[in-house]
């Protein structure tokens, strides 16, 4: 593989009209990707898509903005599929949802599942970093970090915030918005290449030069290119490291 998108949602309806063409472009680029679930049905759809393409894998989980109860047994059954390599996306979101014990409880259930199945945890965190640190620094969180990789999805925070997550042992996954602002440049320079993943979060948040349009996994090259420029490295080196990191984090060949 030449590229790897660590987080996309190819099973979403935004691709219903041309999903085959999007997948063909991915094959042409020699890339792989993780198709990430946001609720039970989207998780199941992601598995079905991954099962039919050898360059796709799946993550199953319940996003904090979805009101559904997290049924550990149902998601564990989904996660038994050999194409499932992670749990999530899950976490805390106080921007679109109110802070609540229910959010925390749902997140913790998914932490427990990741521990049980020894699969990576894909974490969504928005305007909730204080509580996120409390959970990840707790005994349960520390046990998790010692057992499985934890990926901070769509990381767009300060260098100080980046260092805190790195100190915990997390991986940082950088998305398209890093291409159209310099707000996250210091975080990218700070983050060691071996703790870094790249993603699109497609169909959302397309990078320059596709900003404002539907995103798709092949655009992850623009994320790699921005990182290469900031770190004074070649695009190929950053892309190869992103692939190697994804293979390690998600335990894939």
Residues with Cβ < 8 Å from 3, sequence gap 6 or more?
29, 30, 31, 32, 218, 220, 221, 224, 239, 242, 243
The whole-angstrom distance between residue 210's C-alpha and the CA centroid of its chain comes to: 20
In the prediction, which pLDDT does 131 show? 96
In the prediction, which pLDDT does 253 show? 81
Q: Which among 251, 253, 249 has a CA at the least distance from the CA of 122?
A: 249
Domain residue extents for the chain: 3-250
Question: What whole-number distance in Å separates Cα of residue 98 and Cα of residue 112?
Answer: 23
Give the phi and the psi of residue 89 in degrees, each rounded to 5. Answer: -90, 145
In the prediction, which pLDDT does 195 show? 98
Instruction: Domain 3-250: give its CATH code.
Output: 3.20.20.140
Q: Which among 152, 61, 67 has a CA at the least distance from the CA of 111?
A: 61
124 annotated to a ligand binding site = yes
Instruction: Indicate yes or no: pTM above 0.75.
Output: yes
In the prediction, which pLDDT does 67 show? 81
Question: What whole-number distance in Å separates Cα of residue 163 and Cα of residue 189?
Answer: 11
In the prediction, which pLDDT does 114 show? 96
Instruction: State which residues of the chain have pLDDT below 70.
Output: none
Contact 59, 94 (CB under 8 A): no
What's the chain's length in residues? 253
In the prediction, which pLDDT does 4 show? 98
In the prediction, which pLDDT does 110 show? 96
201 annotated to a ligand binding site = yes
129 annotated to a ligand binding site = no
For the record, the structure tokens of 17 come out as 């009209």
210 annotated to a ligand binding site = no
In the prediction, which pLDDT does 243 show? 98
Q: Identify the sign of the CA torsion 225, 227, 232, 236.
A: negative
Residues with Cβ < 8 Å from 247, sequence gap 6 or more?
4, 253
Q: How many CB atoms lie within 10 A of CB 232?
A: 7
For the record, the structure tokens of 138 come out as 């707790």
Residues linked to residue 172 through DSSP beta bridges, in sequence order: 152, 196
Q: Which among 23, 15, 24, 2 has a CA at the least distance from the CA of 42?
A: 15
Burial of 124 per CB tally in 10 Å (0-12, 13-18, 19+)? buried
153 annotated to a ligand binding site = yes
In the prediction, which pLDDT does 99 show? 93
Q: Which among 15, 125, 3 has a CA at the least distance from the CA of 63?
A: 125
Question: What whole-number distance in Å separates Cα of residue 84 and Cα of residue 79?
Answer: 5
């Amino acid at each position: 593989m030449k590229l790897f998108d660590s987080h996309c949602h190819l099973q979403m309806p935004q691709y219903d009209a041309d999903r085959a063409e999007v997948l063909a472009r991915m094959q042409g680029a020699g890339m792989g990707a993780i198709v990430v679930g946001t609720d039970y049905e989207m998780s199941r759809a992601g598995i079905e898509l991954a099962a039919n393409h050898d360059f796709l894998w799946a993550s199953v989980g319940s996003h904090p903005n979805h009101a559904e109860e997290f049924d550990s047994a149902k998601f564990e059954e989904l996660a038994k599929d050999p194409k499932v390599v992670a749990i999530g996306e899950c976490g805390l979101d106080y921007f679109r949802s109110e802070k609540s014990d229910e959010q925390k409880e749902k997140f913790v259930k998914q932490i427990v599942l990741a521990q049980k199945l020894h699969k990576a945890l894909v974490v969504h965190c928005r305007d909730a970093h204080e509580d996120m640190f409390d959970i990840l620094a707790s005994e349960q969180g520390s046990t998790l970090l010692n057992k499985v990789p934890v990926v901070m999805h769509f990381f767009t925070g300060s260098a100080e915030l980046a260092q805190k997550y790195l100190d915990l042992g997390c991986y940082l996954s950088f998305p398209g918005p890093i291409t159209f602002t310099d707000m996250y440049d210091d975080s990218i320079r700070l983050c060691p290449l071996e703790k870094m993943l790249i993603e699109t979060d497609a169909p959302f948040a397309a990078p320059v030069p596709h900003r404002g349009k539907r995103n798709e996994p092949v655009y992850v090259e623009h994320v790699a290119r921005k990182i290469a420029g900031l770190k004074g490295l070649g695009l190929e080196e950053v892309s190869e490291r992103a692939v190697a990191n994804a293979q390690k984090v998600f335990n894939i060949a």
